[in-house]
Structures are given as C-alpha cells and as structure tokens.
Amino acid sequence: MTVLVHLTDLHIGPAGSRPSGVDTAASLARVAAAIARLELPVAAIVLSGDLTESGDAESYRRLRGLVDELLVPIGAPVLPVLGNHDDRTSFLRHFLGLESLDPDLPFCTVHDLPHVRIILCDSNVPGRIWGRLGPRQLSWLDEQMASSGGRPNVVVLHHPCVPRAFLGVDDHILRDGDLLAEVVREHDVAAILCGHSHVSTSAVVGGALHVVGPATSYLVDPGQGTVARRYEGSGFGVCTIREGRAIVHPHVLPGGGDELVPQAPVLSSLIA
C-alpha cells in the first residue's frame, strides 16, 4: 500500500496578501494540520500546480518557508509541478534554489517509490490559462511509464483533461489531453492527479482514473451559474495505491460558507 497526499492550487502570495480574498497561507496551515490528524503513512506529497498566485520571487520564497514549516514535518518528499499561475524561472530560482536549469525546458521529473512511479509533468504555457504537454514531453512520459520496472504509474500535472461538467470554459484545460489519453492507454497508470478547477472532479481518461483535487486555497462550486462561484474552504486528496489500483478520498474542509468576491465572469482567465 502506498499513500500519496495530493495538494493543489495553493495560490500563495507575498506576506500579508489575500489572493482572491483569502489568506492562502492560513489555508495551507489548516490543510497541513488536517493531514497530520489523519495519521497516515504518507509516502509522498504531490503539489499539482498554482503553487503561487503570481509567480513572483517573494511568493516562492514564502512558499519555501511554508513547505519547510508545514509539510516537510509530515516526513515525506514534497513533489511540485507548475500551474498557469506559476513562473518557471522564478520557481526554479526561488523555490528550488536552482540557477542552472534551462527555464525554457519543461520542469518534469520522476520520483520512484518502492511500489509506485510518480511522474511529474509540466503543462505550464507562459501567459496562458490553458495547458499543453507538447510532443517531446509526451514522448518522454511514454518512455518513463514504459520503464517503471513493473510499478504502476501516477501522473501529476496541473491542467486536467476534462473541464468542469457544467461551468464549461472547456478551452482552459489541457489542449493535448487526447494525446495524453492515448499514451496513458498504453501503460499501467493507477491515477492521473490534476488541479486547476478548484473543485473535486473525477473522470476516466485513457482508461485510467483521472482526478482533480479540491484546492487548498479556495473552492469553486460545481453549479451551473453564469459566474464561477468561489467559496471559502480548502481541500486535499488522499490517493492510496493498493494492488495497483488507486483509491482516492477527496477531503474538504468547509469554510464559513461565504462566497468570495470579486466573482469571476465565466470566460475570465481568473477562475483557476
């Protein structure tokens, strides 16, 4: 049995800021406390993007401190990917402390656990709300899944292959999701873990379980309104791989029930 904790859409800003009207650092602290209360044998913590609100240096330095204070004590490696709100150069320099990696190349890595291979993909397209992996990264992903040594694969990326069911904005998702599904279909994939939508969402993609986790920062309701309704509240997922099969529990911590303002128009690029 391998237990992964899935956090997404942390949207951390500079000290004192309230992205979307929320103290997102306090939200992360609340989530970390909830994870600790579960007393799980956590093997890895994956962060599926929108690590910061604006991709600036101060936010990544603050995130580094928050991760070290709140998540590292859980005792498992913390494995991030980038979202549309992130900036690759700033992330590499101010969160990872790396100067030598080429920021024009996708930040994609592999982390092997004894019984699971985690493949972390980079769907960030600078300046765009939608995502793309591109043919080179898809080919790399294909190679990594093929060489997992019999381990089931878990793929982590920010942009989901499916939109919210009702509040469309279908063009905000992964543009080459169909190609990802084709690659996934050829391999042993226990789960695809994503973020971006801020609402827990499950679908089958390429024959595999595809899960959007509830956001750490704030939630979006799954309704059919004319605006993206944001609510106070936080969440995370617990993804357990048992005998090659992923079992995912979305865990939502309700806020005060207050709708957050300003609301984002449906077609705004602000909603995820």
* Closest approach of Fe ion to the CB of residue 159, in Å: 7
> Which residues would be at the binding site for Fe ion (CB under 5 A)?
9, 50, 83-84, 196, 272
| Closer to Fe ion by Cβ: residue 22 or 209 | 22
Q: Closest approach of Cβ 112 to Fe ion, in Å?
A: 27
Could you tell me the smallest distance in angstroms from the CB atom of residue 272 to Fe ion?
A: 4
With respect to Fe ion, which residue has the nearer C-beta, 9 or 232? 9
Burial of 54 (0-12, 13-18, 19+ CB in 10 A): middle
Smallest gap from residue 31 Cβ to Fe ion (A): 15
In the structure encoding, which two tokens stand for residue 198, read together?
């801020």
The Cα 123–Cα 127 span in angstroms is: 12
How open is the CA angle 161-211-47, to the nearest 5 degrees?
A: 95
DSSP label at residue 153: E
CA atoms within 13 A on the CB side of 174: 29
State which residue, 9 or 87, has the beta carbon closest to Fe ion.
9
Q: How far is the CB of 42 from Fe ion (least distance, A)?
A: 23
What would you report as the CA-atom Rg of the chain, rounded to the nearest whole angstrom?
A: 17
SS3 category, 55: coil
Residue with smaller CB distance to Fe ion, 2 or 84: 84
Residue among 80 and 83 whose Cβ is closer to Fe ion = 83
